């Protein structure tokens, strides 16, 4: 019971931190004011932001798996491969999220996908950090075991 409560509490704290970071990114990009009239439906910019956010989420998951399981049954290179994949996905997501925010001419509700782009930017940075830590950990364990990296 205590562990379940702790997991729920940590998940809520992580969600609040993520929402706060997305809000900070929206304020920094000067697109935090909602639109006077909202655009309904899926626009090309919203689709772009959604796809990039999905890529960033995949990068976070891959980075987390590479960090927690540096080796797997697929061989010893999967830890390094997972770290590099998380780095690549995080970099692509962060750059595309920043580009979408830079080209947006309005805030939430304008159809520009600024909320998705801000989320992609934050998740992309998280994926970059996880991939970097996993790659450093992989190199450190490879040097200790005598393998050449």
Q: What is the pLDDT of residues 27-53, one digit of tens each?
A: 887 777 777 777 788 888 889 999 999
- Residue 75 three-state SS: strand
Q: Are 134 and 86 in contact (CB under 8 A)?
A: yes
Q: For the chain of 149 residues, list the mean pLDDT of each consecutive stretch of 10.
A: 83 85 82 76 88 94 83 59 92 94 83 87 93 87 68
Nearest to 128 by CA among 50, 67, 75: 67
The range of the structural domain enclosing residue 110 comes to 2-32+41-145
- CA–CA dist 81, 143 (Å, integer): 17
Q: What is the count of structural domains for the chain?
A: 1
């Amino acid at each position: 019971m205590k562990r379940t409560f702790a997991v729920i509490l940590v998940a809520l704290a992580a969600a609040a931190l993520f929402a706060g970071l997305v809000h900070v990114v929206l304020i920094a990009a000067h697109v935090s004011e909602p639109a006077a009239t909202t655009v309904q439906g899926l626009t090309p910019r919203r689709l772009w932001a959604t796809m990039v956010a999905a890529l960033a989420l995949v990068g976070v998951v891959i980075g987390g798996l590479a960090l927690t399981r540096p080796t797997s049954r697929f061989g010893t290179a999967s830890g390094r491969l997972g770290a590099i994949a998380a780095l690549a996905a995080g970099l692509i997501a962060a750059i595309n999220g920043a580009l979408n925010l830079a080209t947006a001419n309005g805030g939430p509700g304008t159809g520009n996908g600024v909320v998705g782009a801000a989320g992609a930017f934050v998740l992309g940075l998280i994926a970059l950090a996880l991939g970097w830590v996993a790659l450093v950990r992989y190199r450190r364990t490879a040097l200790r075991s005598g393998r050449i990296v």
